Amino acid sequence: MSVFNESFEFLSQLLISLEIFLSSLLRGGMNIWRNISEYLQRREKFLKFAETLPGPPALPILGNALELWESDKASLVFTKISRDLNAPLFRFWLGPVLKVIVTDPQDFEIILSSSKSTRKDEVYQLLKPIVEYGLINIEGAVYRYHKKLLLSILNHSSVMDKYVELFNRYAKMYVASLEERVNIGEFDVEEDAKHCIGHLAFETILGMAEAVTSENQKPFVERGDQALNIFTHRMARPWLYPEFIFKLTQRGKDFYWITDKTHEFINSVIELKKNEYQTSHEKVMSPLVDSLVDHVMKNGAWSPPEVRDELTTTFVGLNDTIGGLLCFVTLMLAMHPEVQEKARGEVKEVVGDEEVTTEAICQLVYIDMIVRETIRLFPVGPLLPRISTEPIEL
């Protein structure tokens, strides 16, 4: 009898366990089906919306991704499509993902100023391994806090006064490098411009004069452009978005090697500055890294990865954007000698043979116009992807 009771209890427990398992499986299946159903409904809305927009013919699965095969020419591709379609707004399928390309400045202003489109596109997540906690990736309250602190440091009234001597020094370095190229025919100014801006970035952001020539810091400087090129290459190829696939490629291996070297170098700079902070009796805040370390040591509000990634973001941003702008300004002056002559006349009139000062910079009105027009023609960020969480009327 006891054997029968034990068998009955065992079967009862087994049935209860089976019921729980089947119930959980059923609930899980229902949740999965509900998610799939919701996705298909959203997908149908996107497809219907896409049909109302002009756009180039798309291939199954790949969409228009092959149009961006030469990833460094994305802005030119979008410009050509807009002109061919005669449309300031058009659809573009990046694989199965719908992108709405907006080219009209007024529409662009509406999008950037709307609270419905504050979320950054998920494509920025591709940079997460190298700058996970930088302004380019963070959002919400953390983003606002980081931005407020960085702007208070970078926009301080004394920043220009502190660095105007450095600006003069590296401007002369750039001019000297160009003088060596006189009467030798066409040449690429990028190497000279990036070399000059690289020195300037190291000294103003990291407080390390001449560090750019040191062997153990070469990967950080020389591979910055390579990391950005890998990012744009991957951005145009949705099949490389999954990390496990990207890591198998040579570009993926290069990207993570650059990431490791960058983190290693920046962490060593932060530790050096922390030691200097603790041993120095006089706190003179000049480079960005000193100001961030001072903030962390006093408040403890930022983690080491946050400091590291903000320094990386600022350095790469300065080196790439200002270096590129310097190249384009030089090119425009070379292509328009009459503008170059007028700019030279303004410098002679305002500055003469003296060093450029903050007061003189404010009087260089024509040169300011040249720089602004160059930025208009060759914008620093020609593509600014955003996610719209609600419908926006353009």
Note the pLDDT of residue 127: 86
CA dihedral 265, 138, 304, 224 (to 10 degrees): 0
Note the pLDDT of residue 224: 78
pLDDT-based confidence at residue 226 (cuts at 50, 70, 90) = confident
Note the pLDDT of residue 35: 74
Average pLDDT over residues 240-255: 92
Using alpha carbons, select from 292, 111, 302 the residue that is nearest to residue 205. 292
Ramachandran quadrant class, 157 (left: phi over 0; alpha: psi -120 to 50; beta: rest): alpha
Using alpha carbons, select from 124, 39, 84 the residue that is nearest to residue 385. 124
Using alpha carbons, select from 306, 314, 326 the residue that is nearest to residue 205. 314
Average pLDDT over residues 9-20: 64
Note the pLDDT of residue 103: 85
Q: Has residue 9 got a pLDDT over 80?
A: no
Average pLDDT over residues 268-280: 78
270 and 293 Cβ atoms separated by less than 8 Å: yes
What percent of the chain is modeled with pLDDT above 70? 87
| Residues paired with residue 99 on neighbouring β-strands, in sequence order | 92
Q: Is 310 exposed, middle or buried (0-12, 13-18, 19+ CB in 10 A)?
A: buried
Q: Model confidence over 361-382: pLDDT tens digits?
A: 889 999 999 999 999 888 877 7
Place of tokens 């320094």: 311
| Distance (Å, whole) CA 303 – CA 29 | 41
Note the pLDDT of residue 350: 92
Note the pLDDT of residue 218: 55
pLDDT-based confidence at residue 6 (cuts at 50, 70, 90) = low
Q: Biggest alpha carbon distance in the chain?
A: 114
Note the pLDDT of residue 17: 66
Q: Model confidence over 283-340: pLDDT tens digits?
A: 554 667 777 777 777 777 778 888 888 888 888 878 788 888 999 999 999 999 999 9
| 98 sits in which H/E element | strand 97-102
CA dihedral 361, 367, 368, 371 (to 10 degrees): -130
Note the pLDDT of residue 213: 54
Count the helices and strands in the chain (H runs, E runs).
Answer: 16, 4
Between 9-18, 130-139, 258-267, the lowest mean confidence (pLDDT) is in: 9-18
Look at the alpha carbons of 259, 261, 262, 263 in this order and tell me if their dihedral is positive or negative.
positive
State the amino acid at position 351 in one-letter form: V
Note the residue count of the chain: 394
Mean pLDDT of the chain: 81
Note the pLDDT of residue 13: 66
Note the pLDDT of residue 247: 92
Ramachandran quadrant class, 379 (left: phi over 0; alpha: psi -120 to 50; beta: rest): beta
CB within 8 Å of 339: residues ≥ 6 apart: 332, 333, 370
Tokens standing for 256? 């993570």
